[in-house]
Amino acid sequence: MKKLRGAVVGVGYLGRFHAQKYAKLEEIDLVGVCDNNLDRAKEVAAELSCKAFDSYKELVGQVDAVTVASTTQTHYEIAKFFLENGIHVHVEKPMTTTVPQGEELVEIAKKNSLKLQVGHVERFNKALSSAQEKLNKPLFIECHRLAPFKPRGVDVDVVLDLMIHDLDVILSLVDSEIESVSAVGTPVLTEMVDIANARIEFKSGTVANVTASRVSQSATRKFRVFQSSQYLSIDFGSGELNLTTKTGDWVFRGEELDEENLPLEFEAWNLEKGDALLDETQSFARSILEDTECVVSGEDGLKALKLAEAIRNDIQRRL
């Protein structure tokens, strides 16, 4: 099998996991890891038996593909450098901090016939892939992504930090242009917005209500979808799914009902937690080796970023 020469740039908390996935895959030969903290790079490199770098520019000529898992503020600069030097890029979410930056990365990748994948890892969650078989025309979507406060990741607000995961999933399920966005949010523990809620209306009539918080007491990653005659609940954390389906053509018109014999079918299943990050990394490698579209392309990442920007703008308007 032909192998890709790969490297991970930025091996902090999340980047170290990315490097571990590179080391596991048959499709990739992990050349090295890079971090501006050379001691950190050496630590991870020793763990994975590869080289350590403190300048990402040294990787040119040594790699075919990289994952950029550095701080969000540096995504644009680093990803642009690699794309301009003929190297495929997998960049963590959000792909950049601004829409014009994201648009530029997409254009450079297209111009140079390179793969640009964005790290919306929830798309590789087995619970979502299982649920998609049941979804045909969502009418209302409700999402809650709540997390306790952690110092890492606070270089951006909660919309780019957490909510953008659900925005990407919603956009992958709803095939329609956005009609309107209304959002509120507030800082709590940082100077940026730490908790936010957005209502997104699509031209198809679908409505999504999305809440994200990084100042909650416990972690929650729940996604609920309502469509004609069905309600589906997905717990991204536990992998549990619950589906309620109306049977027949019954319509409630105020009559008395036998609650023990309602015309409803209930299904529940729990999927073993897979390794979504490993699947995401393998998908990136295979898209290069087989010259196929990335599951989460640069264009997909840009759509999520544009929606996130609209939400952030409406929040700032109200603050």
End-to-end CA distance of the chain: 55
Cα distances (Å, whole numbers) of residue 126 to 18, 132, 242, 307:
19, 10, 14, 25
Q: Which domains does the chain have, with CATH numbers?
A: 4-120+276-294 (3.40.50.720), 123-275+307-318 (3.30.360.10)
Instruction: Give residue 271's pLDDT band: very low, low, confident or very high (50, 70, 90).
Output: confident
Q: What tokens does 263 get? A: 């015309």
Task: Name the one residue in this structure whose structure tokens are 């990741």.
Answer: 153
Instruction: Give residue 301's pLDDT band: very low, low, confident or very high (50, 70, 90).
Output: very high
pLDDT for the residue 262: 77
pLDDT for the residue 133: 82
The answer to whether residue 101 scores a pLDDT higher than 90 is: yes
Instruction: Give residue 152's pLDDT band: very low, low, confident or very high (50, 70, 90).
Output: confident
The answer to whether the beta carbons of residues 241 and 233 sit under 8 Å apart is: yes
**Bridge partners for 119 per DSSP:** 92
Instruction: Give residue 216's pLDDT band: very low, low, confident or very high (50, 70, 90).
Output: very high
Region class of 306: left (phi > 0), else alpha (psi between -120 and 50), else beta: alpha
Instruction: Give residue 114's pLDDT band: very low, low, confident or very high (50, 70, 90).
Output: very high
pLDDT for the residue 37: 97
Q: What is the pLDDT of residues 57-75, one digit of tens each?
A: 999 999 999 999 999 999 9
Per 3-state DSSP, the chain is made up of helix, strand and coil in percentages (nearest 5) of 35, 30, 35
pLDDT average, residue stretch 92-118: 98
Rg (CA), the chain: 21
Distance CA 38, CA 40 (A): 5
Encode 241-256 in three state secondary structure: EEEEEECCCCCCCCCC
The answer to whether the beta carbons of residues 120 and 296 sit under 8 Å apart is: yes
The overall pTM is greater than 0.75? yes
Q: What is the pLDDT of residues 238-252, one digit of tens each?
A: 889 999 998 877 776
The answer to whether residue 93 scores a pLDDT higher than 90 is: yes
Name the E strands within 126-285.
140-146, 178-187, 193-202, 207-213, 220-227, 230-235, 240-246, 264-270
Give every CB contact of residue 231 below 8 A, 6+ residues apart in sequence. Answer: 224, 225, 243, 244
Residue burial 131-142, b: 16+ Cβ < 10 Å; e: rest = beeebeebeebb
Share of the chain above pLDDT 90, in %: 83
The answer to whether residue 257 scores a pLDDT higher than 70 is: no
Share of the chain above pLDDT 70, in %: 96
Instruction: Give residue 151's pLDDT band: very low, low, confident or very high (50, 70, 90).
Output: confident
